[in-house]
Amino acid sequence: MAAAVVAFTVATRDPDGPLSVALVVGGAALAFGAVAATILVGLGARGTTRGKRREAAAARGLRRGAMVGSAMGLLALLRVLDGLTVLTAVFVIAPFVVAEAVLSARRV
């Protein structure tokens, strides 16, 4: 669905328009996040059988895929706005890394 919207927008709109850029960046981030989630769910649930461990691995893969898609969308948006530097990239990626570290910590 997202690919169809992006293709329609690219085919019918001015490529420099803000709506076109927003749809392309959003669609690309959504697609990248979906591919990352698919790969991470497959890798995480590969060695487990049915049960809670497999469900937990799938949930982790989906969460990480959503984080990857969000981070890539923010970086692409910064690139479009000419605001992407090494420092801004670190400040965009750091909260995702901290959130993943907190969410992945084992409960005692």
Question: Does the structure show a pLDDT above 70 at 17?
Answer: yes
Which long-range contacts (C-beta less than 8 Å, at least 24 apart) are formed by 1-5? 2/26, 2/27, 2/30, 2/31, 3/27, 3/31
Q: pLDDT exceeding 90 applies to what percent of the chain?
A: 42
pLDDT tier, 108 (very low <50, low <70, confident <90, very high otherwise): low
Q: What is the pLDDT of residues 27-77, one digit of tens each?
A: 889 999 999 999 988 887 777 777 788 888 888 889 999 999 999 999 999
Q: Treating both helix axes as pointing N-terminal to C-terminal, what angle do 52-80 and 18-44 enclose, rounded to 10 degrees?
A: 150
Position 2 scores a pLDDT of 63
Q: What is the CA radius of gyration of the chain?
A: 17
pLDDT tier, 90 (very low <50, low <70, confident <90, very high otherwise): very high
Position 104 scores a pLDDT of 84
